[in-house]
Amino acid sequence: MELLKRFRQGDPEAFEALFRQFQAEVYGWIVRIVRDPSAAEDLTIETFWRIHRARGRFDPGASFGAWARRIATNLAIDHLRRKRPELALPDNLAEPTSADSIVCRETRRQIAEAFRGLPLKLRAAATLSLIEEQSPKEIAEALGTSEGAVRVRVLRAVRLLRQQLKRVGVKR
């Protein structure tokens, strides 16, 4: 509690201690959302820059980790809004493939494309829940919403994914 009070008052040593304590957690949280380690590094730095600038609004009685995740999540979602989807070529492009692996690769591509087509709020909740297996409570704190809203977003995302995949002929 004392460290958080000092941080709010602008103590650089308190900020540095919090940075060291939470840097890995914030980076891990961001990389789960953006799926790009390089971008996650940049967004982690930006997150702590924003944390430092907003320190006067921080409540020392609240959870610093939850506050940091919320800021990180907002930055990650903003990054996804600005980023254009890139299609990476596989390393084994010249290698011969079997018909089954081609079907599997195409199915994975269609699933990834359908996932990228989700609205960002749904995509963030679905990524953190379905892929990263975060609890609804953790996701709710990061997204600044209720656990019920997280569950609804995940259900809506699954429903939309199923509809999209059914349209392109991917069966469960």
pLDDT score for 92: 52
**What CATH number has the domain spanning 2-82?**
1.10.1740.10
List, in order, residues 6 or more apart from 37 with CB less than 8 Å away.
31
Higher per-residue confidence, 2 vs 114: 2
Tokens of 164: 């999209």
**Range in 45-49, 71-75, 141-145, 157-161 with the lowest mean pLDDT:** 141-145
Percent of the chain scoring above 70 in pLDDT: 88
Tokens of 1: 């509690």
List, in order, residues 6 or more apart from 67 with CB less than 8 Å away.
51, 58
Residue 130 DSSP code: I
In degrees and rounded to multiples of 5, residue 125 shows phi and psi of: -65, -45
Domain(s) of CATH 1.10.10.10: residues in the chain: 99-167
pLDDT score for 99: 55
CATH T-level assignment (fold) for domain 99-167: Arc Repressor Mutant, subunit A (1.10.10)
Domain(s) of CATH 1.10.1740.10: residues in the chain: 2-82
Determine the Cα angle at 169 with ends 157 and 153, to 5°: 5
Query: 8 near 60, Cβ under 8 Å?
Result: yes
C-alpha 121/C-alpha 157 separation (Å) is 9
Query: 80 near 34, Cβ under 8 Å?
Result: yes
Give tens-digit pLDDT for 109-165: 888 888 888 898 888 888 888 888 888 998 888 888 899 999 999 999 999 988 888
Instruction: Note if the pTM is more than 0.85.
Output: no
| Residue at token pair 């059914």 | 166
Contacts 24+ apart (CB under 8 A), 63-70: 63/141, 64/4, 64/7, 64/18, 64/22, 65/22, 65/25, 66/141, 66/142, 68/22, 68/25, 68/26, 69/25, 69/26, 69/29, 69/138, 69/141, 69/142, 70/141, 70/142, 70/143, 70/144
